[in-house]
Structure 1
């Protein structure tokens, strides 16, 4: 018997993968559902229990899996052995995080073969626990992120609508039909879909998607489609006194610099771009604000007077006050900058960062240079172009307006109520 809920309230099960960056775009929808009196639970791994709790939502920490950084480093090692690694320094060892002596110094495929039984067992325990909880709690809707196996699985097993909440301009269909594994699908290590008598997980598994992207940069979404305005959630934090004093009392352009610790951990020290960005901006007549973790701050030398380093500042407090933002191409940075209407210089490392940066640059709101090839001169030139070109500012403002015209999460709640009640969902 499932627990009672107030009359008229839905049970909505969020299912999230193993990094806050994957599911942070879902948080405002959780808030909106709770504000309307609906019950929300978040199935997650124990490592995500505390981050989920900080959002004010209720975690159900039953998932099991290998650490995300280990899995991502293993992917990078496979790419290096296939000649698809673009950095001069080999990738880090999956387990130690220490850069390899050479691309062939580690047998990445052998590592997968050796560890597959363990990875499958972890996945089996997690997916079985998630399905068991869902059968007890009996959600009427499931909302999950792009790297969640258990979200679409629960939807199929319980025969309730499951909605993939995209985190940015990338979707499963981006990787379909290209040969080899689809990089925008999670790996079903334990063959959970087959164990439940279902067709294998593929891009065709997804029937409903929540898309927070403005149309000009959206990924292809050839399924039932719920557009929603992206409301940035970058964690909690106080409003900082972040603005450096303008020299001579004159207002100068402000450039924000954001880098991801997880990107450095998975791509290695060679990918840490902040020192070359500082070198690039040192001679420009701009104010620079860097937001870094304490560990990354220690890796940066003393800054010039016109630069200020802050630790762990939520991006939505920083970006609206910047004329340009320089970042690594993660979905959180990209989408928060789009919401702020801030032109972007994106230095992607790999994975979805490359595709998202191409789409935002193609819409005119960014310049993109791969981090592996960009030097300080490239960064300086690109920032100068962004500051001096009205076209990039106009494009960024246009995308911000497109995003503001999308239904907000509160409006989406009514559509989800209809979907849960069995009303047909019209594809947009």
Structure 2
């Protein structure tokens, strides 16, 4: 069969796709990956066929521009999220809906021709995939699938905030004796759907099924059809660094704030970088910090026990590490779990999955989480000493690793996708 993946234009969104795309290719299926033109080199470097659609956009600026969008604020407010769980509310509002607004514009002046949407539909009609697997932030995916009669599902690499929103709306309407809560998300989609000759239904936001890379213990309690799959780390093809061939003489710690943070939020993390480097200077360990020049520009000096490198593949670095300090990203989390490395997540931001992954690491005893107000050099130093020397964290990493390897591999998921495609293709 022919399989088309659609992904947001960010490396962190491509990485979860690659192992499943390889598994499908190895099983004899034809695979293409569609994204904005700036992703073509990353896709082909992974040995996959790239389809460039739309134009090069400043994704960070577009996402930040959604922060003051009153339509998105109204959609979120209508769901009456539990005030005790701000992360659910903020993740949906500033992460999920920000991407939603790129493809379903909420301001009248922005309606009309959408290059990425129209190009994707044109390609799908020409290539005629049997299956479209779409990034949960790449909302044109299901529309392209409908245009060519393909089955389609989401590839969910983080918590399913869209399904939470749809279930929450249904719960509010079933529990209320008053007027129905208006479906403002569907209303925001209507102008674009009418332009494309489509009508709204739940498959356009939730897919016909969902391939879920999130460990079962983290998953939100949702009544939806999920296909669990183990997240296999992919960080590109690289030459094995000579210095990594030697085992370190004392504990080695990886310090990384992730690809997306450095690309879109480098300025916001400047203070944290300074505190982390001061902590490293006080710790009897060697640190490998994957920080680029932008992240280091506010730092007066780098401690002698810190090697600041622009990039080191985690798949090569983590097997030599005794701990990792990171931002809470799903890919970094999965790499640490795969190599059974205790984790510290300082000041994970709300508005995405980072807080959820940090909480999960902490609750499973595989590491430590520090709230933003807790982050001081002294606290970081004390917590790092615990992480390096308390053996219970190693036991926690074993539990997380067991959770991961219990999930089906991409190879094992391929026959499931073949059956689902046969059942749903029109």
Gaps of 5+ in 2: 74-82, 87-104, 173-180
Cα pair distance change 1:141/1:173, threshold 3 Å: same
Instruction: Give the Cα separation in 1 of the matches to 2:331 and 2:370.
Output: 18
Q: Which moved more, 1:305-314 or 1:26-35?
A: 305-314
Q: Distance in 1 between matches of 2:337 and 2:189?
A: 33
Q: Output aligned runs, 1:42-191, within 5 Å.
A: 42-64=33-55, 66-76=57-67, 116=107, 119-121=110-112, 124-176=114-166, 177=168, 191=192
What's the CA shift string for 1:241-299, capped at 9, x where partnerless? 455989xxx94322110023642554462423222101012111112111123443555
**Matches of 1:47 and 1:214, distance apart in 2:** 31
**How many positions carry a matched residue from both structures?**
378
Structure 1 residues 203 and 175, CA gap change in structure 2 (3 angstroms) = farther
* Change in 2 beyond 3 A, CA 1:37/1:135: same
Q: Kindly indicate whether the alpha-carbon contact (under 8 Å) linking 1:63 and 1:127 is maintained by their aligned counterparts in 2.
A: yes
DSSP 3-state at the match of 2:419:
helix
Q: Which stretch shows the higher mean deviation, 298-307 or 143-152?
A: 298-307
Runs of 5+ unmatched residues, structure 1: 1-9, 87-113
Q: Secondary structure at the residue paired with 1:217?
A: coil
Partner of 2:14: 23
- Per the alignment, residue 357 of structure 1 pairs with 358
Kept in 2: contact 1:65–1:119 (CA 8 A)? no
1:252 aligned partner: 250
Partner of 1:99: none
* Superposition deviation, residue 28 in structure 1: 0.8
TM superposition shift of 1:115? 9.3
Which SS does the other structure have where 1:17 is aligned? coil
Report whether the alignment pairs 1:225 with 2:215: no
- 1:397 deviates by 1.5
2: CA distance, partners of 1:169 / 1:293: 29
Q: CA RMSD in A?
A: 3.5
2:324–2:341 contact (8 Å) kept in structure 1? yes
The 3-state SS of whatever aligns with 1:407 is coil
CA contact (8 A) 1:244 1:306 kept: no
Q: Is the 8 A contact 1:170 1:356 kept in 2?
A: no
Q: Distance in 2 between matches of 1:194 and 1:312?
A: 44
State the alpha-carbon separation in 2 of the partners of residues 362 and 118 from structure 1.
Answer: 46
How far off its partner does 1:149 sit? 0.8
Query: What SS is found at the alignment partner of 2:15?
Result: helix
Give me the whole-angstrom Cα distance separating, in 1, the residues matched to 2:217 and 2:224.
18
Please give the TM-score of this superposition, normalised by the length of structure 2: 0.77
Q: Please give the alpha-carbon distance, in whole angstroms, between the structure 1 residues aligned to 2:367 and 2:190.
A: 37
CA offset digits 1:375-395 (Å, max 9, x no partner): 222322222222233332212
| Counterparts of 1:203 and 1:268, CA distance in 2 | 33
TM-score by length of 1: 0.77
Task: Show the counterpart of 1:107.
Answer: none
In 2, are the aligned partners of 1:134 and 1:154 still within 8 Å (CA)?
yes
Q: Report the equivalent of 1:98.
A: none
CA distance in 2, matches of 1:128, 1:407: 35
Task: Tell me whether 1:397 sits opposite 2:395 in the alignment.
Answer: no
User: What per-residue deviation string (whole Å, max 9, x for no partner) do you get for residues 53-72 of structure 1?
Assistant: 11111111113474211023
CA contact (8 A) 1:72 1:266 kept: no
Residue deviations 1:212-232 (CA, integer Å, cap 9, x gap): 233223344532221112110
Distance verdict in 2 for CA 1:65–1:384, change over 3 Å: same
Kindly indicate whether residue 344 of structure 2 is the aligned counterpart of residue 345 of structure 1: yes
- Give secondary structure in 1 for the equivalent of 2:124: helix
- Alpha-carbon distance in 1 for matches of 2:411, 2:246: 39
Q: Deviations over 1:153-206 (max 9, x none)?
A: 223444432121112345423445389999x99x85962377432216689633
